[in-house]
Structure 1
Amino acid sequence: MEAAALPIVVAIPTKNEAENITSTVRSVLGHFAAVVVVDSDSTDDTRALAEKAGAEVVPYTWDGGYPKKKQWCLDNVHTGTDWLLFLDGDETPSPELIAELRRIFTVPAGRTLRPAAFDIPLGYWFAGRRLRHGYTIVKRALLDRTRCRFPEPDDLAAPGMGEQEGHYQPLADPVMTLTAPIEHQDLDPVRTWFDRHNRYSDWEAWLEQHPLVREQIRQAKTRQGQLFHRAPFKPLVSFGYAYLYKRGFLDGRAGLDYALAMSFYRWQIGLKAREAAAAGRAAR
């Protein structure tokens, strides 16, 4: 006898995820109330592959303002179901996570879950290898749309993010952390990781020049994110945290590569921020 579908809608925001989308859709079909790919004008076969795999496909075009893409999903995608699980186009829930969700969402009729959102750890893959150490990534991915909302900081003039919400968590209270992971396995070549983080560093560097907006972002981060937000010498701190404190060296070459990549990302942010500051002084 098949288990009933969980009372959760899976929303998968995409843009050019043809390499990954089929496995993502197949991993959730049958387990959840609905699976919806929210696609931003992909120029590859993302939409066709998602439909073939069994997902509902909804087009999305950003209007340049707020709400951005994930909040738009909360406001518009299968609004008859309160709970929504966000997955990237290269993510799949582990079997352990689906089992954990079944335990949590098996509640007596008439009762509601106390948490407004759930933080879920990521099983992170880098350059083709599953990292076992060296990182701590937790994603606030499962939301009760009636009690959660993404912040709307004054960052629309910032480069780098576009239609995506920035690197902050949706606002929710209370929040519970699950134990089983979402597997984040990107099949694209590693250069795409550097392409994305080059854009992200543009946004982060812009924030360094706009301290009021930076503070808005800081308040919407996890406690760990807030602490790192204030840390000096971020490239060195990032490398030491990932490679030494979190024992990334136990992942061999992949652990070293990831720690260096994250340190380089933090270095990019600092260098771009200093360049922008110097240009501002020269213009005065």
Structure 2
Amino acid sequence: MTLTPAPVSVLILTYNEEDNLPRCLDSVAWADDVLVVDSFSTDRTVEVARAHGARVLQRGFDTFAGQRNFGIDQGELRHDWVLHLDADEVVPSALRDELLDVARTGVKPAYRVASRMMFQGKWLRHAGMYPAYQVRYGRRDRLRFKQVGHGQREDLEPEDVGTLQHDLEHYSFSKGLHEWFAKHNCYSSDEAAEALGQSGDAIDWAALAAPDRTRRRRALKTLAARMPMRPSLRFFYMYVLRRGFLDGRAGLSYCRLLSTYEAMTVAKERELRLRQRGVSI
């Protein structure tokens, strides 16, 4: 099928993504405006991006929200609709068709999209918390991001966000477990600092039964942060209640990794509390 130039710009964040980037760029080859916002990679990321016809802007990394907003504001994007990706994500053809349709007929200023976590050659349908949504598609003049923990959220009201029916594919482990642990070591520090700052916030009990999945998930996360034995509970929730065991050996391995990540976060929260009290570490 031959497509006319799509009324969609694509913005991709990168840092040392020479291995992942070709697959990502190939999946958005239908877009005539692709901007890579690179955090001064030391590998061939910039060369790969330009070889695929993408434009490149470089900016020292501060936050994911900061990088995305910079790309929107400074990237001279050609189209009103912008798809935001990471280099380890892929846009399947069904999602591509939906994005193009929304760009022509969409009534909301932004849309959330689910992603399929890929691990050890398998889609983690259960352990991967599918469908976990992020707002990644929106109008250039309306969608901006704010940093929350180690990720970003849309700076819009819930009623301004629609939901796409098709999914991204997310190859979070494409660089190997060493890279995953390195990233989540940083993420756990961000999570610990965020949890400490929100320790006095009230739990949104009403959201636990709300039909909005994103709101419900955020309320569950706030509740979970107050509970004891969090690493064990995280494993039980993911492997048993979320039926991660149905994902086979890959599901078991992933649930163990998430339990380890939770343990790292808990330990860092305790360290921060001790430092606030002036206790030597």
User: In the alignment, which residue of structure 2 is the partner of 1:252?
Assistant: 248
Amino acid at match of 1:69: Q
User: In the alignment, which residue of structure 2 is the partner of 1:179?
Assistant: 165
User: In the alignment, which residue of structure 1 is the partner of 2:79?
Assistant: 81
Amino acid at match of 1:37: V
| Alpha-carbon separation, structure 1, partners of 2:201 and 2:45 | 34
The sequence identity of aligned pairs, in percent, is: 31
User: In the alignment, which residue of structure 2 is the partner of 1:37?
Assistant: 36
1:54-98: CA deviation from partner (whole Å, max 9, x where unpaired): 222222234x69971111112122344221111111111011101
**Alpha carbons 1:207, 1:213 under 8 Å: kept:** no
TM-fit CA distance, 1:273: 0.8
Aligned residue pairs, count: 262
**Alpha carbons 1:25, 1:54 under 8 Å: kept:** no
CA root-mean-square deviation? 2.6
User: In the alignment, which residue of structure 1 is the partner of 2:48?
Assistant: 49
TM-score scaled by length of structure 2: 0.84
Q: Secondary structure at the match of 1:43?
A: coil
**Alpha carbons 1:148, 1:170 under 8 Å: kept:** yes
Residue among 89, 114, 118 paired with 1:125: 118
User: In the alignment, which residue of structure 2 is the partner of 1:161?
Assistant: none
**Alpha carbons 1:26, 1:54 under 8 Å: kept:** no
Are residues 240 and 180 of structure 1, via their aligned partners in 2, closer, same or farther at CA, if it must alter by over 3 Å? same
| Alpha-carbon separation, structure 1, partners of 2:163 and 2:258 | 24
| Alpha-carbon separation, structure 1, partners of 2:12 and 2:143 | 18
Are residues 278 and 244 of structure 1, via their aligned partners in 2, closer, same or farther at CA, if it must alter by over 3 Å? same
Residue among 261, 266, 280 paired with 1:265: 261
Q: Secondary structure at the match of 2:265?
A: helix
Are residues 5 and 239 of structure 1, via their aligned partners in 2, closer, same or farther at CA, if it must alter by over 3 Å? farther
| Alpha-carbon separation, structure 1, partners of 2:90 and 2:64 | 28
1:1-284 correspondence to structure 2 within 5 Å: 2-29=2-29, 31-62=30-61, 68-107=66-105, 113-134=106-127, 135-136=129-130, 137-151=132-146, 166-173=150-157, 174-186=160-172, 187-211=174-198, 222-231=215-224, 232-233=227-228, 234-283=230-279
**Alpha carbons 1:36, 1:58 under 8 Å: kept:** yes
TM-fit CA distance, 1:126: 2.3
Amino acid at match of 1:132: R
TM-fit CA distance, 1:127: 4.0
TM-fit CA distance, 1:138: 1.6
| Alpha-carbon separation, structure 2, partners of 1:189 and 1:243 | 22
Are residues 204 and 152 of structure 1, via their aligned partners in 2, closer, same or farther at CA, if it must alter by over 3 Å? closer
1:196-248: CA deviation from partner (whole Å, max 9, x where unpaired): 01101011112233238988xxx9x7431232222224323422332122211
User: In the alignment, which residue of structure 2 is the partner of 1:162?
Assistant: none
Q: Secondary structure at the match of 1:271?
A: helix
Amino acid at match of 2:189: D
Are residues 202 and 51 of structure 1, via their aligned partners in 2, closer, same or farther at CA, if it must alter by over 3 Å? same
User: In the alignment, which residue of structure 1 is the partner of 2:211?
Assistant: none
Amino acid at match of 1:142: Y
Amino acid at match of 1:51: R
Amino acid at match of 1:202: S
Amino acid at match of 1:273: E
**Alpha carbons 2:40, 2:58 under 8 Å: kept:** yes
